[in-house]
Structure 1
């Protein structure tokens, strides 16, 4: 990236109302067959244009072609039965009906590679593609086969690595792994979670990122945050190990959260995608608020390693709010760029 403080989003952006029900997670598609394929591509184009008009530097697909950031990847693997469902606790927070692992996990076909190729054809800007991380994947399933979280995570890491290599070949510049589970299962993260993540990025030459946040602005997450007290120090448990890992970029949440900003110091040397936009509110930040968050972070991360970003995905927000937030992110980054 030649530009300083290049901006990006954490992942999802709202889907157009003709494609899926707005402001809803897991929203079912309104189209089918050929019309759905075309509709998803149209939505991807629109999402790209909205990022470009807002001045976002590193663009993404806005996750327009997937229903959910974890399950859409899992649906394409063999060994998981979506008819056989069990209710499990997701990240110790809320119950969800999830598919069951019934046999060996394997990836027989690309999942997002065609979509990434399509995005690559539409723009010359750097593109980032998000994949679910191994630990977050195992937390969204019932395992009736491996009977070991670590073993299952390792199998997913192998499948993710195959996908990531093909995404890189399709022209993706940054591959990001979403690991909200890293904020919950600290012992496992340090025992084998980061190792599984490193297995997923093995052999990649493009940049790699891990996104660790406190989740979408849905009730289960906002209720959980209320129990975390006035200081959220979860990052303290995993940042030291991530700092030593092979991951290039750590994407984290800062805006309106109770994360003590000095924890970023624990990542010194890594690139930091800093969440300067709160996704759990419809209030649109002012450019000055974004700039203030970035200035604070610059005490703990070098300017050439700071990538202004959103806290998490924006799928549950309205399109106009998401648009406003993207513009504020760009404008706030521009204020600080001029000061450097």
Structure 2
């Protein structure tokens, strides 16, 4: 990108109250049928508009047309039974009722391309689209068919690659894969996780991002983070592997986390999307706080490879709080941009 310190959100934005219950993660839709389809598209337009007005440089859909960042993609695949559900442990953190893989997983048509075309029509700025990562997908399912986490993840990676190529053809400039599971299953990451992620991104000309976070600000995540001690060093496991990978950009948490900032040095040479906005708090950062976070990482990442962003998605927040946090992100980046130039 030609802009120094291009700003972006990582994933979701709050949905309008007329579309789903506000300030609730994975809230059911309040519309159905044709009204739901129209409401989703209207919400996507509003999300693009609020990002532009906040001053962000890269615009995303804010995940307005999906209920859940993983299962919305899975719902469109064959081989997965949403009626036959089982309770599984998600990322070794909390129990959830999930659908079951009962046969070969297949993608019969694109899931997000029409939405991506609608977003492309909203702005001349670069646009980014998030997809679930293969390892995080398999951690959100019960498998009764493949009998191998690696094999199922590889199948998902192939389907994600098909989707990503269609998104690229629709005008998406940056494709992000969300892999919070990379912060938990370190042996899998080493043995096949990075290789499978590369399969999902294979052959793309669009910039590729992997987002690895400590989760939304929900109780299961905050309780887990309270057990991690004074330093969160989980990134130490995946960063050296990702530095050698074909993925262009790594997205990480920084502001109000206990991640030692020097771990970013392990990614030297990659683009780094640094979270300068805390999504687990209603407190709105000042531009100077954002600038301070960005200054703190500059010894470890070249300025032309730094992308200021949010720590994670903002779906559970109030819309005005999310808006003001984006305004602060853009203003804080502008402070540091001016200092660098």
Category of TM-score, reference length = shorter chain: over 0.9
Deviations 1:195-250 (A, max 9, x none): 01000011111100000000000000000000000000000001000000000000
Residue 65 of structure 2 is matched in structure 1 by 65
Matched, 1:43 2:43: yes
When the two structures are superposed, what TM-score results if normalisation uses the length of structure 1? 1.00
Residue 23 of structure 2 is matched in structure 1 by 23
Distance in 2 separating the partners of 1:259 and 1:290: 16
Distance in 1 separating the partners of 2:264 and 2:128: 22
Question: Is there any run of 5+ residues in structure 1 with no aligned partner, and where?
Answer: none
Residue 133 of structure 1 is matched in structure 2 by 133
Distance in 1 separating the partners of 2:200 and 2:233: 26
Quote how far apart the aligned CAs of 1:2 are: 1.2
Root-mean-square deviation (Å)? 0.4
Quote how far apart the aligned CAs of 1:181 are: 0.3
Matched, 1:336 2:336: yes
Q: How does 1:1-340 map to 2 (within 5 A)?
A: 1-340=1-340
Quote how far apart the aligned CAs of 1:73 are: 0.2
Question: Is there any run of 5+ residues in structure 2 with no aligned partner, and where?
Answer: none
Distance in 2 separating the partners of 1:26 and 1:98: 13
Deviations 1:138-164 (A, max 9, x none): 000000000110000000000000000
Distance in 2 separating the partners of 1:147 and 1:225: 31
Distance in 1 separating the partners of 2:186 and 2:26: 27
Quote how far apart the aligned CAs of 1:25 are: 1.2
Distance in 2 separating the partners of 1:70 and 1:290: 29
Quote how far apart the aligned CAs of 1:24 are: 0.9
SS of 1:131's equivalent in the other structure is strand
Deviations 1:77-131 (A, max 9, x none): 0110000000000000000000000000110010001000110011110000000
SS of 1:122's equivalent in the other structure is coil
SS of 2:60's equivalent in the other structure is coil
Distance in 1 separating the partners of 2:146 and 2:335: 51
SS of 2:307's equivalent in the other structure is strand
SS of 1:299's equivalent in the other structure is coil
